[in-house]
Chains A and B, each alone.
Chain A
């Protein structure tokens, strides 16, 4: 039995009024947020009614919730001046000439291929990697793995979708999850069947198009019992967008004995507010690993979390944030221990330069049942000059007995001794500084697939050039 409700707004229109979407129809993009926009989005996507209701309810929640005041300053976001849904054809209207010179220069220096940079810049809607994607899809399909965009998943796998969607992060979780729930578009959907190990990392890159790179993407990953998947989102090249708000929701369910790793490398252009809710549920003896790298953006607020639901569940967050001039990276992690014998670690590395600001914000919660659980938090901040700033906000909330909770925080500067040592071997000051920074984030880099690690190191090098020692 399909769970698609009988009343579907899109099909209803067609049947009752003979209304249909001609191929050359162009959705008229409008700024601002109201129920009409939300209805239009849902209608454009021909969604089932339950999704429309979900969206409208989420919009109400978004409107009622106050702006969070505990973190970065978000008061400058003007919600009425944002496009909440753009078709690929609208996004494409930009031309290469419209791009800011610094973005172009970075593509050049990173050696990003032509087709790819046009896509990243929003000039082209499709990144030409179809061949790779199709052969991968074939082998995945054989194993019963579903890897598609979230809109297609709603259409093609309605029951599976409805069972899990919105269950990890309900719209009412926070203001921005409510916003995303109201206007979401694109994102990835992955289902890995019982016992299946996906050997190659799945990358959004393979099947990416402009819609998936949207501001309000929605990702849902379900790892069935005993399965494994590594998902990689983003890339190190800067993603240029004129839209100033990126607010994604990522929901992950890791069932018994399964393991999921979710790697993010993002480098938004510096006008972007990057406000993302990421959460995973880990069941018995399951492992959830967030590997999260944040560069770019004006403000990032992101705290990947793991709810450790059953005994033996394990959660890891490993994150790096780089804040340059005018940037505030407010990042960290949350570990919610619900069951006994659960373990978690959060390792946060932050680099501030040129007056940039990084904050570590973390929450460890141990419910009364979480006895014999362990959590360890380590945050290291590296300041590259006296104008930059780093803060730590750890919140620990322990209601269980026999638990171990460790917290270690360091703030350091690039030391004169290290610089002198490297320079005494003929290495220039700027290269030595870059080496020290790359060395500092090495615990993160070594967890990345090689090509990402190499790109990240090059990117750090670009960020470092011109910095005052």
Chain B
């Protein structure tokens, strides 16, 4: 039994069936990439795994630490050790990134305002932040800003990875983390993720393009088309997609590499 098991997951949005039975086993220490053309169900997969209220689970299970996480609230999933790096991080005005990061870390550690021993100390928090900010080439000025408010595309994505680094999940889902990023930002993000790789972390990278996989080498690659995996294998699957795109699957004739003009 794998550490994180998606079994025959089916999900719909507004009555439209999107995921038609997805099965995937992820062990800690592994990096899996899910690739697929537009409309294949990639976003539905990430949102359903994290419990977005707009997605309806029609069947299947997701087992993690002895629980079917599909029965849990998003915050319970997070505290159990799951993390989703959003494709479109949400702006929340009036709350500083520092406050957000501290509140999230305290929540992760089970601090509910009572047991002070579970609360992160200011000193520990500062040193934790300092190290991670350096890796992501971010400076302190970012901390007093409101959550994602006025952030550039690159800043948003780096802020997502910063949250991941602070919260130290066991299963991290990176949803189109490379979209909208210039090449430097991709490198910083990839460096941060690669530093976190290890026996305590399983990663699921969801992406349309192969580009990010040049920097974060996956152990397994799965191709999602029309809500189902059509191909699974090692890194060579990505190489194959790089050459042929999604053309093998007739109705999904899209390239899997960015055209030069699309590279920011």
A interface residues, Cβ below 8 angstroms from B? 416-418, 420-429, 431-432, 435-436, 438-443
Contact = CB atoms under 8 A, between A and B. Distances in A.
B93 A420 contact: no
Contact of B104 (A425, A429, A436, A440): A425
Query: In terms of DSSP, what is the predominant structure of the interface of chain A?
Result: helix
Given A420-B53, A425-B167, A429-B75, A435 B90 contact: no
A417 B91 CA distance: 9
B73 to A, nearest CB: 7
Which 7 pairs of residues, A with B, have the shortest CB-CB distance? A439-B94, A442-B94, A426-B78, A425-B104, A421-B90, A426-B107, A423-B74
Interface in B41-61: 50-54
A424 B78 contact: yes
B74 A424 contact: yes
B2 interface: no
Interface residues of B, number: 30
A128 B78 CA distance: 47
Given A416-B54, A435-B103, A439-B146, A423 B95 contact: no
Contacts of A435: 92, 95, 99-100, 103
A438 B103 contact: no
Nearest to B93: A439
B50 A426 contact: no
Interface in B75-109: 75, 77-79, 83-84, 86, 89-90, 92-95, 99-100, 103-104, 107-108
Given A431-B107, A439-B146, A423 B75 contact: yes
B251 to A, nearest CB: 30
B73 A429 contact: yes
Contacts of B53: 416, 420
B119 interface: no
Contacts of B54: 416
Contacts of B207: none
Nearest to B53: A416
A201 B231 CA distance: 69
B179 interface: no
26 contacts: A416-B54, A417-B90, A420-B51, A420-B52, A420-B74, A420-B90, A421-B86, A421-B89, A422-B100, A423-B75, A424-B75, A424-B83, A424-B86, A425-B104, A425-B108, A426-B79, A426-B167, A427-B75, A427-B103, A431-B103, A435-B99, A435-B103, A439-B147, A442-B95, A442-B146, A443-B94
Residue from the set B54, B94, B95 with the largest chain A CB neighbour count within 10 Å: B94
Nearest to A380: B93
Given A420-B52, A420-B74, A421-B86, A428 B107 contact: yes
